Amino acid sequence: GYYYEIPSIGAIRINTQEYLDVLGRPMVLAGEKAKQVQWTNVYLDALELGLVITGTLPVFNLTKEQNGKINQLILGVMGVDVSLEDIKKLTPRFTLCPNGYYFAIDPNGYVLLHPNLQPKQIGVGIPKVNLRKRRPNVQNPKSQEPVTLDFLDAELENDIKVEIRKKMIDGESGEKTFETLVKSQDERYIDKGNRTYTWTAVNGTDYSLALVLPSYSFYYIKAKIEEPITQARCKYYEETLKLDNFDEAGYTFIAPREYCNDVKKSENNTEFLLNFNEFIDRNTPSSPSCNTDMVIRVLLDAGFTNELAQSYWSKLSLDGVVAQFVVTDGGITRVFPKRAGEDWLENAETYEVSFYKRSLDNDNYIFTAPYYNKSGANSYETGIMVSKAVEITINGKLLKPAVVGIKIDATSWMENFTKTTIKSLCNSEICGCERNSMHVDCVILDDGGFLLMSNRDEYTQQIGRFFGEIDPGLMRNLINMSLYAFNKSYDYQSVCDPEEEPKQGAGLRSVYVPTITDILHLGWWASAAAWSILQQLFLSLTFPRFLEAADMEDDDFGAALPKTSCITEQTQYFFENDDKSFSGIVDCINCSRLYHAEKISNTNLVFIISDSQLLCRSCDPKPLMQAEKPDEGPNPCEMVKQPRYRKGPDVCFDEAKQEDSADCGGVSGLSPSLWSMVGIQLVLLWLLSGSRHCQL
């Protein structure tokens, strides 16, 4: 054995270094096996590089001394920090389509790169209602809190992903296509989509890299400007991005991407567009500082969307339509008319727009509920978005280069719907979905369970709210009838408000309460007496009022406490199956309500007609919540029963036959003199008694 008796806290580092010299000898003697780069987990760099990983390599001392003895020491470690942002710049993100991505994991299954690895900024809490909260492109990576996120927590887990994770950790290569659940960008919805996972090991590391693609993103459009006529068209399309063109062709947004190194970035999209136009006016897309393919693509998209606006949208007059829009893979968002674009709240980066990504994964028309806000009508988002992906086939290859849609006024839609459903010449109590009917409630929900339309005026400002908070009894029945299913998952990257500690009463501050064993131990009495005397003497001289009773003031808790990392639970609802019709009864204490639900073809909507809530008020009023909420996370006792697969180091340096262990088997320590300890205590007692005699 080889051990030290550490005499003081200050000697810990010195003795630890001695331990390292001994424990490191087998690694030093292992030769080339030990000369391997070791990569760390993701962490936040202290020098403002943001999230980084570090590669380290040990440096050994194998020189011979004059007596012929060979050194077996680790001199140190050299390393290099690699920023995740620099790695992302080397990957072709904008040719994978918005729903395609890549990720990497380490031998523990933790993700190194993943689009869902988005540590939130400290100081930003979770919303109590569904708000537009996910804006990863505007988060400052240098102020994010790093997290250790498992691949199965970054995505919605299933058995196939568990298998893929194991094969990646083992360094295997492979490919698998399957249907999986996909959480939307804003985390309100879940879609079903086919994905192809392709993975392989990264040479020289213990990481494994994977590429995930939907079936419609195996190919992408690559624009060229070799022909003079195409160059002329690009120059024309450039003019469509001018602000002067907005009145005729609608408000235009350009995704804030790195088209050219010399284009000044700006958080204001209009300013960024002006900077882009200014640069293109003075340079060509083939400039050495530009990503030529990306610049040409955005110019072509600008031209195509301009023709759509001027040749088609400008000639239409649609009642109840607030806006018409088109969003492209190349980074263009064009909203017509201009006044609608001025109120546009969606992200200018099309790859981060939730409705755009959902439309690509669905063949139906996607209705998107506005973001409900409890603060009332002043912040109520008017307009329901309807979108559909544009599909084109080139040489048998399916592409989805854009999404088109409209934004409709919710009030106008409700009026038209109620008029259409009312029966003419009706003499009965129920003649359809009459406005504010006392007998029936008519609602339209989307596939996430959010309210889009109702025949009741009181629901108008609740459009976009989860229906389980409006009519809990009916929503629970829709779940029990398998119209809706739900998925619960945990977000390990959240931040929450810390809980305030209870106020303490006045009293002396103490640090240690001795046990019975301590009290009966003679050595404890001696050391405790010496320390107590010395402490009281020092404090009485420097802080005369320190030992007085301290009252806890309310102001101590008045300051705002910083946000802390926490776990939150998320719940998303989705259509469980393809059945179209559902009927049932909501049983309450002394009444019941009939209902019938019908899915609307080619959409993500369901129409529900039921007996009015006004006729049966004895149902369970407890709301069914969907919003994200703090949680303690999964039960660790249950998780340990099915531990996730991990892999340890390939090589373990625990011993070496040629190790020189001459300095093993000894013990080193310091033993203070008994007379010196007695002398110190006598001096302390004399000082204490002397200070008491001198008091006035």
Is the pLDDT assigned to residue 42 strictly greater than 60? yes
Instruction: Kindly tell me the burial class for residue 286, based on how many C-beta atoms sit within 10 Å of its own C-beta (0-12, 13-18, 19 or more).
Output: exposed
Ranked by mean pLDDT, which of 89-98, 495-504, 663-672 comes out on top?
A: 89-98
**Cβ-based neighbours of 326, under 8 Å, separated by 6 or more:** 305, 308, 309, 332, 333, 334, 402, 403, 404, 405
Q: What six digits make up the tokens of 12?
A: 């810990």
Question: Contact 310/295 with Cβ under 8 angstroms?
Answer: no
Whose CA is closest to 203, among 137, 271, 333, 104?
104
Report which residue type is found at 117: L
Is the pLDDT assigned to residue 229 strictly greater than 50? no
Return the domain boundaries, the chain: 3-84, 86-217, 228-401, 410-423+430-494+565-631
Question: Contact 328/350 with Cβ under 8 angstroms?
Answer: yes
Return the residue matching tokens 């054995």. 1
**Cβ-based neighbours of 301, under 8 Å, separated by 6 or more:** 328, 329, 330, 331, 332, 402
β-partners of residue 648 are none
Fold of the 86-217 domain: Beta-Lactamase (3.30.450)
Question: Contact 124/427 with Cβ under 8 angstroms?
Answer: no
Instruction: Kindly tell me the burial class for residue 77, based on how many C-beta atoms sit within 10 Å of its own C-beta (0-12, 13-18, 19 or more).
Output: exposed
CA distance 41 to 645: 17
For residue 500, the number of C-alpha atoms closer than 13 Å in the C-beta half-sphere is 10
Q: How confident is the model at residue 362 (pLDDT cuts 50, 70, 90)?
A: very high
What is the distance, to the nearest Å, from the Cα of residue 63 to the centroid of all Cα atoms in its chain?
A: 50
Q: Could you give the C-alpha distances from 124 to 34, 139, 187, in angstroms and in order? A: 44, 11, 17
DSSP line for 646-660? ----S------TT--
Taking residue 504's Cβ as centre, other Cβ atoms within 10 Å add up to 10
| Per-residue pLDDT, 128 | 45
**Cβ-based neighbours of 482, under 8 Å, separated by 6 or more:** 576, 577, 579, 582
Whose CA is closest to 151, among 194, 190, 98, 207?
207
| Per-residue pLDDT, 550 | 47
Q: Which residues of 27-47 are buried (b: 16+ CB within 10 A; e: fewer)?
A: bbbeeeebebeebeebebbee
Angle at 3 between CA 526 and CA 522, to 5 degrees: 15
Return the residue matching tokens 């640069």. 279
Average pLDDT over residues 667-695: 61
| Per-residue pLDDT, 520 | 45
What is the arrangement of strands in the sheet containing 629-631, beginning at the earlier edge strand?
484-496, 564-575, 629-631
Q: How confident is the model at residue 286 (pLDDT cuts 50, 70, 90)?
A: confident
What is the chain's length?
A: 696
| Per-residue pLDDT, 634 | 87
Is the pLDDT assigned to residue 511 strictly greater than 60? no
Is the pLDDT assigned to residue 389 strictly greater than 90? yes
Q: How confident is the model at residue 690 (pLDDT cuts 50, 70, 90)?
A: low
**Cβ-based neighbours of 226, under 8 Å, separated by 6 or more:** none
Lowest mean pLDDT among 172-176, 345-349, 402-406, 669-673: 669-673
Average pLDDT over residues 304-319: 87
Q: Could you give the C-alpha distances from 674 to 206, 543, 596, 677, 681, in angstroms and in order? A: 56, 33, 91, 5, 11
For residue 187, the number of C-alpha atoms closer than 13 Å in the C-beta half-sphere is 25
CA distance 29 to 659: 7
Lowest mean pLDDT among 40-49, 99-108, 475-484: 40-49
CA distance 621 to 292: 59
> Could you check whether 86-217 and 410-423+430-494+565-631 share the same CATH topology?
yes
Instruction: Kindly tell me the burial class for residue 565, based on how many C-beta atoms sit within 10 Å of its own C-beta (0-12, 13-18, 19 or more).
Output: middle
Lowest mean pLDDT among 31-40, 282-291, 341-350: 31-40
β-partners of residue 174 are 199
Q: Could you give the C-alpha distances from 76 to 29, 70, 498, 652, in angstroms and in order? A: 15, 17, 40, 19
| Per-residue pLDDT, 281 | 84
CA distance 86 to 82: 7
Taking residue 545's Cβ as centre, other Cβ atoms within 10 Å add up to 7
Lowest mean pLDDT among 3-7, 460-464, 512-516: 512-516
Query: Could you report the per-residue pLDDT of 246-263, keeping only the tens digit for each?
Result: 988 899 999 999 999 888
| Per-residue pLDDT, 564 | 78
Question: Contact 355/366 with Cβ under 8 angstroms?
Answer: yes
| Per-residue pLDDT, 381 | 59
Lowest mean pLDDT among 303-307, 500-504, 638-642: 500-504
| Per-residue pLDDT, 195 | 96
Whose CA is closest to 441, among 427, 423, 421?
421
Query: Could you report the per-residue pLDDT of 422-481, keeping only the tens digit for each?
Result: 666 565 555 678 888 888 999 999 999 999 999 888 888 889 999 999 999 999 999 999
Is the pLDDT assigned to residue 377 strictly greater than 60? no
CATH class label, 410-423+430-494+565-631: alpha beta
Instruction: Kindly tell me the burial class for residue 322, based on how many C-beta atoms sit within 10 Å of its own C-beta (0-12, 13-18, 19 or more).
Output: buried
Query: Could you report the per-residue pLDDT of 541-587, keeping only the tens digit for each?
Result: 445 554 454 454 444 444 455 677 888 999 999 999 999 999 999 99
Percent of the chain with pLDDT over 90: 36
| Per-residue pLDDT, 256 | 94
Question: Contact 484/574 with Cβ under 8 angstroms?
Answer: yes
Residue predicted with more confidence, 1 or 590: 590
Question: Which stretch of DSSP H or E encloses residue 210?
Answer: strand 208-213
| Per-residue pLDDT, 285 | 81
Whose CA is closest to 269, among 278, 281, 257?
257
Whose CA is closest to 275, among 260, 288, 287?
260
Lowest mean pLDDT among 137-146, 346-355, 557-566: 137-146
Q: How confident is the model at residue 124 (pLDDT cuts 50, 70, 90)?
A: very low
- What mean pLDDT is reported for the chain? 79
Report which residue type is found at 16: T
Q: What is the pTM of this model?
A: 0.79
